[in-house]
Amino acid sequence: MLPALMFGRQYDHLTIAPDSLMPALAPVCARIESRGVNDTCVSLADVLASSTGRDDQEKIRNFIKSAYSEWGTTAVLLAGDNEQIPCRVCYVDINSTYKDWIPTELYYSALDGDWDKDADDRFGETEDSVDLIPDVLLGRLPLATPAEMQAFADRYLEYTGDSTKPYLQDVLLAGFDYSPGFCGEEACEIYDTLLRPASMHAIKVYDSHSGNHEDSVKHVLDRGVHIWVQYDHCNYNVMGCGYTNHGWLMWWDELDDMTNAPDYSINLAAGCYPSAFDSSYCVAEVLLTAPNGGCVATFGNTRIGFGVSPGPLRTGSHYYCEKALEGFWQGPGNGSFAGLATGQAQAAPFADTNIVWRWCHYQFLLAGEPSMPVWVPAGGGVAETPNAELRTTNATTIVRGVLLLPQLLSPHSSLLSIDGRKVLNLAPGANDVSRLAPGVYFVTAVGARPARVVVLN
């Protein structure tokens, strides 16, 4: 249940944080509100006291479920490290070599079912019949102290406060060889060709280039780059820069020494473990708090990344990388972080039947504030191709081009993006959604639970 004083309210965005971090978060919540997104910040203690469940994780999830159904919440920020706001770990057994307990933030965003249908305390298994489509857009700030949260808040305010900085047009594509025949450069070229808006400029550092790649990447990062795509081997404490061929690595201390402030990056890392926030510390945490630079948000794996044959650079972990970038660059106007949720919705059928896809589906993490805009310089965005196909699966309506609604519709119904912004006023009958970016949306009506809609290309 929700706190009694909040009954009857509408909150597009929910922030959950321990009391110790709330003062540092206050300006972040105020900035969210200033962008027209109605936010409420609830202390972790109040969440646990007002909700039921077998453990803290289930209590937090049940609170989010209530916020989704009663407040119309579509975006959730978990502001705290794993020791403060515990993640749910799900057991995935691919084979005798690859089996692990995977931190799974999707547990807090895909809200149907209980994720342990067979009651064996192994969550998210195939036999648990998990709904793998997110209901809310969720981000995590894996930060433990007021000083760390203040460091994030400062860069969040800086980034969201100015959409005109020259560095926002720059993209770093850093692609290196994982193994013979599996080259990050090829994935970066796919992104550059298919996704990058013409208004943005690509800076490329590849294994096929000469020079010291580690020095080149550091140089580009320190001068300031907006979107930073890193394709190489990683771990919780290091990012590769040509590791297979040269042994070049950027360690924690080097990342912590970045000097790009106030031109903060958004990082997308395709390697293993950079977002393993259930460890003592991880790359994502370093990038979000580096004193003189770093990032305002990161996307990455909490465990080993995989691709799936026959197209490993566009499947598995790499699929979620691509979908995140689509959210940045392929919608009308400025981008968002909703591409990850779109990718999760579209990949749910694969993750339901393929254990490798399930592993990848669980582990890809947004470390950042979920409703944050991604600034795109003038231009950018592509039109969608209308298609009137309509089908419904697991209470999710999937549409192309036209959203058909029954005649009996509330006169105040609207379509919200997954971060809570109204994108369309709705009317009975056919509603043209062909101009919307692909993604997860919600039909809202007075007195009714939001209905989930996935708009495809």
Domain membership flag for residue 68: yes
* Alpha helical stretches, state H, 91-212: 146-160, 184-194
The reply to whether 255 and 355 lie within a common domain is: yes
The reply to whether 283 and 403 lie within a common domain is: no
Domain membership flag for residue 381: no
The reply to whether 80 and 111 lie within a common domain is: yes
Question: Are 120 and 103 in contact, with CB atoms under 8 Å apart?
Answer: no
The reply to whether 246 and 361 lie within a common domain is: yes
Domain membership flag for residue 138: no
Query: What share of the chain in percent tops pLDDT 90?
Result: 74
Domain that holds residue 433: 390-455
DSSP string, 337-394: SHHHHHHHHHHHHHHHH-HHHHHHHHHEEEES-TT--B---SS---PPPP---EEEET
Helix, strand or coil, per DSSP, at residue 450 = coil
pLDDT tens-digit readout, 247-275: 999 999 999 999 999 999 999 999 999 99
CA 241-244-247 angle, 5° bins: 60
Bridge partner residues of 102 (DSSP)? 90
Q: Predicted confidence band at 444 (pLDDT cuts at 50, 70, 90)? A: confident
418 pLDDT higher than 70: no
Residue 355 sits in a domain whose CATH number is 3.40.50.1460
Cα separation of 177 and 206, whole Å?
9
Q: Final residue of a domain: which of 367, 399, 425?
A: 367
- pTM of the shown model: 0.84
Tell me the C-alpha to C-alpha distance, in Å, between residue 422 and each of 38, 121, 272. 11, 39, 36
Residue 123 sits in a domain whose CATH number is 3.40.50.10390
Question: Are 372 and 322 in contact, with CB atoms under 8 Å apart?
Answer: no
The reply to whether 251 and 332 lie within a common domain is: yes
The reply to whether 85 and 217 lie within a common domain is: no
Structurally, the chain folds into a number of domains equal to 3
The reply to whether 202 and 350 lie within a common domain is: yes
φ/ψ (deg, to 5) at 214: -60, -45
The reply to whether 342 and 199 lie within a common domain is: yes
Domain membership flag for residue 143: no
Query: Per mean pLDDT, which range of 184-193, 199-208, 395-404 is the poorest?
Result: 395-404
The reply to whether 54 and 167 lie within a common domain is: no
